[in-house]
Amino acid sequence: MMDGWSSKRPVGLSSFRAKFILVVGGAVLFDLLVSGGLALWNVQRLSRDATLEVGQGLEAASQEYIRTYADSTAAQVNLLLRQVHNDVDTLAGVLQAQIDNPVRNSDVGAAIARTSPDSVSLSYDEKGKWSQNAPGSASVVSVWGYLLGEDHQPKPEIRRDIETSAVLDLVAPSLLQHGASKLQMYYIGPRERPIFRTAPYTDQAQTFDRLYPGHNEADFWNFFFPGLYESWQGWARDMKTRPVADDITQTAPYTDAITGKLIVSFFHPLWTADRKDVAGTAGADITLDQLAQTVENVKVAQSGFGFLAMSDGNVVAINGTGEQTLGLRSASGASGTGVTGLERSLKGSAQPAIAKLALDREQGIQHLLLQRDGNEVPYIVIVKKLPATNLWSSGPVRQEAMLLGVVVPEREIDASLYAAQAKISEATNRIVIYQILAILMSLLIVTIAVFAASKRITSGISALAGAAKRIQAQDYSVRVAITSKDEVGAAGEAFNRMAEQISYHTENLEQLVEERTAQIADQKEEISALNAQLQRENRRLGTEVAVAERIQLMVLPLQQELEEFQDIEIAAYMRPAEEVGGDYYDVLKNGRRLKIGIGDVTGHGLESGVLMLMVQSVARALQEAGNTDAVKFLADLNSALFKNIVRTKIDKHLTLAFLDYDGREMILSGQHEEVVIVRANGEIQRVDTMDLGIPIGLDADISAFIKTREITFEKGDLILLHTDGVTEAANDSGEMFGIERLCSEALRLKGQSAEKVVSGIVATLMHFIGSQKIYDDITLLAVRHR
Amino acid sequence: MEISDENFRVWAEKNEVYFDGVFRLAGPDAYAPIYSLITGLLHEGHKQVTFDLTGLEFLNSSGINLLAKLTIEARKMGDLLLIVKGTHQHPWQAKSLPNLKKLHPLLELRLA
């Protein structure tokens, strides 16, 4: 038997195990994905937080570092400046002490003149029209043309100053050797005798001539430092007017007339002994390089740099890279007044961010975007103000606080941050990969576990299914070994018990059959008893039916009775139903008169037969009594029957019709089925008998309802009488034979003898009925005029 | 009150009796319960009683015998108007019901 169930173990998607694996695996997978996803999310978040945290920490640290660096650089610059200030202060202190002590001043001057004549012996220069001592001395002293007499010799008061200023030779070389590295130290006399003594010796005046043509004739202070001297004179009158409470006055960077280098000068004005006026100045120059070195030594990360700028943004110290980075453009001072300054301002920077940089106040760390190779690169800039100082830069002395800037590409500062972030990111990725691997591993393990567990869990069910199939194949020896203590185990036990029972029943079939046979034998006794009872009943019924049938057939006219007429032929057919109905037909002959009757008693069985027998007897009696009136005949017959029905309590009646024929007329009376007449010319005539009477046995007197009808009956005519057994006979599909079929059959057979007509119609009818049960008696009678 | 089997159903509502289905009962014994049900109704004292046969597809001759006996019973009661409702849809009714009118001329036969 094929039931679409493969004989192999089911491993398809529809198998229980597959479903189990799908459900459990799906749940676990979901769980893993959720937990794994959460873990991953957490790791990512942790990484993000860590990155942020580290980033913030590092940024803070970096900024702190830069700030500190800037502070320390500022301190260094400041230290350098302070050292220079100290050296200038020392020199100025010595010179001021000499001024304050004129006697000693003269003595010291005279002494030096004696010991170091080179320092005070000047020779006139024809070309330059100035006077200057010869090389070899510790210092050079230049005396401008307008300070010389007509003999080209310095004027007496100048002469004295040349000697007294030689004290510089004692102090300056030592100061130059020690302390801050300086280019030179010098003394410049007051406005009325501005001799210029400088240590160490250089071709001072010659350089002036080259760089500052026309200086020799001009007033020294006005020519070189316009406004400076007047500022100092203001200070002499009121020290409070000093922009910064310090005598040191610094110049903006300018090209040194002596060395031709860019320098910054630090002046310390000298005062007259009464402190009412200016008595010249002590000074020291440092090259911008020296100042810049400190700043330029700034090295933050790879390409960080420092710069030093004046408060107006003019950068005085910066390295080449820095200059390029800040987009500075140098322009030599074109003011035409005083020393030539250096114009290299932040404000003129090609970098908009730098040009806009606020210089008037400290702003701490600033983040700027600087253009580099067409890209915007972020930089960190910190600008510190150095301690304020007095500054001259053409015009009156004003307060100046130089600016120290430190500039670092943010990328480099953040390099460590990036490195940390990269480390964290790397760690995160590693964790993520491990996590994913862990999930995959878990999934693999779970899958294997589920697979194994499913095998264990479902093996019971599979075993059950397999065993059930073996049972199906009639192998009753099969047992399942399911050890689990669950429902499957219980099912297995139940299955085994069932299999045992099946096996037992199968193997003990014979015994069982015997047992059953014994049981059946017992039951058979009972059945036999009942059967006997039934048989007796049946016999009684059967006897009754048999009797009824005998009665029915017994009273029918004999064949020879039907054949003894000259001008008409009569043929009749009657077939009792299985239960024997109460059809009646008769042919009564009395002399010339012929009475053909047809009727149908209601119901079946013996009583119907008896009633029919009575009808026959009464009809015969009435015929014999010479009753020729058809109406009276029927009324009397009914009367007799009715009384007998009342007496016998046979609760039945019958339809009954008669044809009376006296050789000429054919008279029809009584209510029965339609009479069919087939004329010789083929015409069919159906005569309804409903109005010709009423069923016999319903009422005591029916004379009022009986009517007669004369029927033309000529040569070749055929009269057919039938009971409803003919027309109501049904075929397999419940269709009735019907009066139309009867008529057409009669027409088909009209030329034939009455016998042939009857047998032909009966054959057709029987063929029509087929295997259907015959419920009612079938009676057909044909009367044919010869 | 109702009598029925798988093929037919007879029931009474007030003074109307309804016949439905196909009656092929074996004989008077089988029809006896129906006869007693309806004669009971006839004697309840109604002015008129209606037999509604419009749903009666077929009635065998024993059934017609029953109807005839009931008609005669109604006739005996004199002042009771018996109305029989039939239909031409079922040919046997047109054929057999006029007999009831013959048995009891006062019977009102309504063949629709």
- Nearest residue, CB atoms, A695 vs list B27, B60, B99: B99
* Cα A755 from Cα A645, distance rounded (Å): 36
Residue A655 pLDDT exceeds 70: yes
* Confidence bin at A7 (pLDDT 50/70/90): very low
Report CB contact under 8 Å: A604, B26: yes
Report CB contact under 8 Å: B27, A699: no
If we measure between CA atoms, which residue out of A697, A767, A683, A759 comes closest to residue A731? A767
Helix (H) or strand (E) holding A107: helix A102-115
Q: Please indicate if any CB of chain B lies within 8 Å of the CB of A203.
A: no
Q: Please indicate if any CB of chain A lies within 8 Å of the CB of B30.
A: no
Q: For the segment A660-710, what is each residue's pLDDT rounded down to a tens digit?
A: 998 889 999 999 999 999 999 999 999 999 899 999 999 999 999 999 999
Q: Is A276 exposed, middle or buried (0-12, 13-18, 19+ CB in 10 A)?
A: exposed
Residue type, A619: A
* Residue A47 backbone dihedrals phi, psi, to 5 degrees: -60, -45
How many other CB atoms are there within 10 angstroms of residue A18's CB atom? 16
Residue A284 pLDDT exceeds 50: yes
* Cα A249 from Cα A284, distance rounded (Å): 11
If we measure between CA atoms, which residue out of A206, A38, A68, A235 comes closest to residue A132? A206
Report CB contact under 8 Å: B99, A600: no
* Confidence bin at A132 (pLDDT 50/70/90): very high
Is the domain spanning B1-109 CATH 3.20.20.70? The answer is no
Which DSSP letter does residue B99 get?
Answer: H
Q: For the segment A566-587, what is each residue's pLDDT rounded down to a tens digit?
A: 889 999 999 988 777 788 999 9
| The two three-digit tokens of residue A192, written as one number | 């009325």
Q: Please indicate if any CB of chain A lies within 8 Å of the CB of B61.
A: yes
Of residues A316 and B7, more confidently modeled: B7
Q: For the segment A458-513, what is each residue's pLDDT rounded down to a tens digit?
A: 777 778 888 888 888 877 777 877 777 777 778 888 888 888 887 777 777 777 77
Residues in chain B with CB shorter than 8 Å from the CB of A651 are 27-28, 65, 69
Which DSSP letter does residue A348 get?
Answer: G
Query: Could you tell me whether strands A654-661 and A684-687 are parallel, antiparallel, or unpaired per DSSP bridges?
Result: unpaired
Residues 6+ apart with CB under 8 A from A298: A69, A73, A304, A305, A306, A406
What is the residue-wise DSSP string for A217-267? TS-HHHHHSTTHHHHHHHHHH-GGG-SSSSS-EEE--EE-TTT-SEEEEEE
Residue A735 pLDDT exceeds 70: yes
Q: Please indicate if any CB of chain A lies within 8 Å of the CB of B26.
A: yes
The shortest C-alpha distance from A694 to chain B (Å) reads 6
For A234-238, the CB contacts below 8 A with 24+ separation are A234/A396, A235/A269, A236/A271, A236/A272, A236/A275, A236/A276, A236/A277, A236/A278, A237/A276
Of residues A586 and A544, more confidently modeled: A586
Residue A286 pLDDT exceeds 90: no
Report CB contact under 8 Å: A603, B64: no
- Nearest residue, CB atoms, B95 vs list A603, A690, A694: A690
Q: What is the mean pLDDT of residues A400-424?
A: 79
Q: What is the mean pLDDT of residues A368-397?
A: 83
* Cα B103 from Cα B97, distance rounded (Å): 10
Q: For the segment A79-128, what is each residue's pLDDT rounded down to a tens digit?
A: 888 888 888 888 899 889 888 888 888 888 888 888 888 888 888 988 88
* Confidence bin at A371 (pLDDT 50/70/90): confident
Q: What is the mean pLDDT of residues A515-536?
A: 81
A146, A215 in Cβ contact below 8 A?
Answer: no
Residue B2 to residues A65, A703, B25, B34, B38: CA-CA distances in angstroms? Answer: 115, 37, 16, 9, 11
Report CB contact under 8 Å: A603, B95: no
The shortest C-alpha distance from A601 to chain B (Å) reads 8
If we measure between CA atoms, which residue out of A228, A236, A149, A233 comes closest to residue A193? A149
> Chain B residue with minimal CA distance to A608?
B27
Residues 6+ apart with CB under 8 A from A510: none
* Confidence bin at A239 (pLDDT 50/70/90): confident
> Chain B residue with minimal CA distance to A704?
B102
Query: Beta-strand (E) ranges in A666-717?
Result: 666-669, 675-678, 684-687, 708-711
A544, A605 in Cβ contact below 8 A?
Answer: yes
pLDDT at A6: 40
Residue A255 pLDDT exceeds 80: no
Beta bridge partners of A122: A133
Residues in chain A with CB shorter than 8 Å from the CB of B68 are 653, 695, 698
- Nearest residue, CB atoms, A652 vs list B65, B98, B102: B65
pLDDT at A767: 94
* Cα A21 from Cα A611, distance rounded (Å): 86
Report CB contact under 8 Å: A698, B26: no
Q: What is the mean pLDDT of residues A621-640?
A: 93
* Confidence bin at A336 (pLDDT 50/70/90): very low
Mean pLDDT of chain A: 84
- Nearest residue, CB atoms, A653 vs list B26, B68, B95: B68
> Chain B residue with minimal CA distance to A689?
B95
Indicate the domain borders of chain B.
Answer: 1-109
pLDDT at A4: 40
Residue A467 to residues A285, A456, A510, B31, B70: CA-CA distances in angstroms? Answer: 115, 17, 25, 62, 72
Probe site for chain A from B39, B58, B60, B61 (most A CB atoms < 10 A): B61
pLDDT along chain B (112 residues), means of 10: 86 92 76 89 91 91 87 90 94 89 92 89
**Torsion angle of alpha carbons A60, A66, A67, A70, nearest 10°?**
180
Lowest mean pLDDT among A41-45, A340-344, A495-499, A539-543: A340-344
Query: Could you tell me whether strands A140-143 and B2-4 are parallel, antiparallel, or unpaired per DSSP bridges?
Result: unpaired
Q: Please indicate if any CB of chain A lies within 8 Å of the CB of B33.
A: no
Residue A5 pLDDT exceeds 50: no
